[in-house]
Structures are given as structure tokens and as C-alpha cells.
Amino acid sequence: MDTKARIKKLTMVAILLAMALVLSIVESFIPFGIPGVKLGLANLIILLSIYYFGFWIPLAIDILRVFIASIVTGTFLGMGFVMSISGAIASFLLMYVFVRWIKCFTSVGASIIGAYVHALAQILIGVLYMNSWGIFYYFPVMALVALITGTVNGIIVEVLLNNSYLNKVVASTKKQAETSSN
């Protein structure tokens, strides 16, 4: 890959990471009354990157966003951080499987699965962390929020995927990268 193509790809990834980060930090200021529960708006960027870049880039964006957001919000390496990172990875893997392998759902279905699994993984890590099923009390509220935001995120991703300008930009970046690597 030549320098120009590499810079173009790097810039796109940096923009996606910045967008995911801003959404993560903004949603951390929206109180839900439940530790670790957020709207999950950043999932939108992760899902979009899965469609555009496959596995490694979205995974890197997802992990980096959780690390940086937790450092900014002062929860790094705490219980909230462990719940966030596990939820993020679990939701990423499930979304990837349903977008790339089991293609029975559209972006809406994949987003709902991602949001729901995110909530479930967070709760299960909380159960392990506290050695008590007590935290499961919060699951219904988290699941309800996940269903709503998952659906909204999925619809937004579908609209973005049908945006011809965005598709053109991503396709040209990919093509340039592929040509220069050959």
C-alpha cells in the first residue's frame, strides 16, 4: 500500500474513531441510574465500520473507544470499565457474525443483536464480578433500552449504507488501497 492510500485509510479510521469516541463520551453524561448503562450510540459507528472494513479495524475502533472514553470519564480499570469492554467485544463479535456470515438480518437486526448482547454481557460480567445474581435486577431496563437504541441505530446505519456519496468515498479508498498493495 503506498503512502497516499495508507494516509487516506488512516484518516477514515481516525474519523470513525473520533465519532465513536464523541458519542461514547456524550452518552456517558446521560444518566440512567444504572452503573454501566448507556444508550449505545457508538455501536452505530462500529456496525458501519463492520460493513465497510470487516474485522480488525472495527475491533480496534471499539477497543480504543472504550479505553479512551473510560480514561476521559475517570472510570479506567474500574468495574464499569470491565463491564463496558466485555459488552463492547461481545456485541462486536455477534454483530460481525450476523453481518458477514449469517446474513439473515439487515443492519437493523444486526444492530438489535449487538445492543442486546452488549447489555447481556455487561450483566453477566457484573454477576461474575460481584459473585451475585443481584445485578440481574437491572437487565430488563437495560434490555428495553437496548431494543430501542438498537433499532434506531440500525435504521441510521441502513440509511448511511444507502448513501451513494459515502459509498463512493469508501469504495474509492478501498480500491486505491488494494491497487497500491498489488
Residues in contact with another protein by the rule CB under 8 A: 31-36, 73-75, 78-80, 83, 104-106, 108-109, 112-113, 116, 126, 129-132, 134-135, 137-140, 143-144, 147, 151, 154
Long-range contact set of residues 10-16: C-beta below 8 Å, sequence gap at least 24: 12/169, 12/170, 12/173, 13/53, 13/57, 13/60, 13/61, 16/45, 16/48, 16/49, 16/61
Task: Rank residues 49 and 75 by Cβ distance to another protein and give the closer one.
Answer: 75
| Min separation Cβ 6 and another protein, Å | 37
Task: Rank residues 132 and 172 by Cβ distance to another protein and give the closer one.
Answer: 132
| Min separation Cβ 153 and another protein, Å | 13
| Min separation Cβ 3 and another protein, Å | 41
| Min separation Cβ 107 and another protein, Å | 9
Q: Please choose, from the candidates 138, 117, 121, the residue with its C-alpha nearest in 3D space to the C-alpha of residue 35.
A: 138
Q: Please choose, from the candidates 64, 27, 26, 19, the residue with its C-alpha nearest in 3D space to the C-alpha of residue 44.
A: 19
| Min separation Cβ 167 and another protein, Å | 18
Q: Three cell numbers at 67?
A: 479505553
Task: Rank residues 1 and 68 by Cβ distance to another protein and give the closer one.
Answer: 68
Place of cell 470487516: 54
Task: Rank residues 1 and 155 by Cβ distance to another protein and give the closer one.
Answer: 155
Task: Rank residues 35 and 176 by Cβ distance to another protein and give the closer one.
Answer: 35
